Amino acid sequence: MISAFVQAGGRSTRMGRNKALLPIGGKPCLEWVIAAARAVTPEVTVVTSDAQVWAFCQERGIALASDHYCDVGPLAGLHAALARCRGEAALVLACDLPFLTGEFLRVLRDSFREAEAVVPLDAQGHPQPLCAIYSVACLPVVTNLIERGEQRLGRVLEHLRVRFLAFSEIAHLPGAEAFFWDLDTPEDYQRAQQRLCQR
């Protein structure tokens, strides 16, 4: 029913190097995300145009896809996921979320019913559109926004029937406070490494 797509095409300007391949706990961040995704689906594809990530995935037999649109940002990755998806919905994940768990992603999957998308909210109530599930029926909406020059992923949610998964619905899960910790900056990376050391 669901295929997973890990978005690894970001330029990582604030980090200064590719976030997908940053070592966390002895393996690249990308591997943590893929492992969590495989708890809900055997179909995991990495969406990237980065040569290093492409080579990394090829060596390990990980399915790959590239953006149809250039210089559009995360919207292009969502478009690539929906266009490539063989199921009825795509689980779309950022590559820099090393503390996602299969248990959480199963809750996310099981919340996908009548809506066109299910998007979790973090503890502050902010939507997490790069840790969400989208129906393949959303593809025309995404395509239309891109063709109109839109680049903000959040704008997609304004055009869909979205089921927002409140943080209170997942707060009981182990590690919930760190599910949405991403690695935007060197400080974020240091904090993530410290968290792993404390386990």
pLDDT digits (tens, 9 = 90+) for 113-143: 889 999 999 999 999 999 999 999 999 999 9
Spans of all domains in the chain = 2-198
At 70 the pLDDT is 83
pLDDT tens-place string over residues 21-64: 999 988 999 999 999 999 999 999 999 988 999 999 999 999 99
| 133: nearest Cα among 149, 113, 154, 148 | 113
Give the mean pLDDT of 150-163. 93
pTM: 0.93
Those residues whose C-beta lies under 8 Å from the C-beta of residue 23, and which sit 6 or more positions away, are 29
198 pLDDT band (50/70/90 cuts)?
A: low
- Under CATH, which number does the domain 2-198 receive? 3.90.550.10
**pLDDT, mean over the chain:** 92
Q: Which residue has the higher pLDDT, 1 or 156?
A: 156
Task: Give burial (CB, 10 Å; 0-12/13-18/19+) of 41.
Answer: middle
Report the alpha-carbon distance of residue 129 to residue 132 in Å, rounded: 5
Question: What percent of the chain clears pLDDT 70, i.e. is strictly above it?
Answer: 94
DSSP H helices in 16-161: 29-37, 51-59, 74-84, 102-110, 139-147, 154-157
Q: Which residue has the higher pLDDT, 196 or 188?
A: 188
At 113 the pLDDT is 86
At 194 the pLDDT is 84
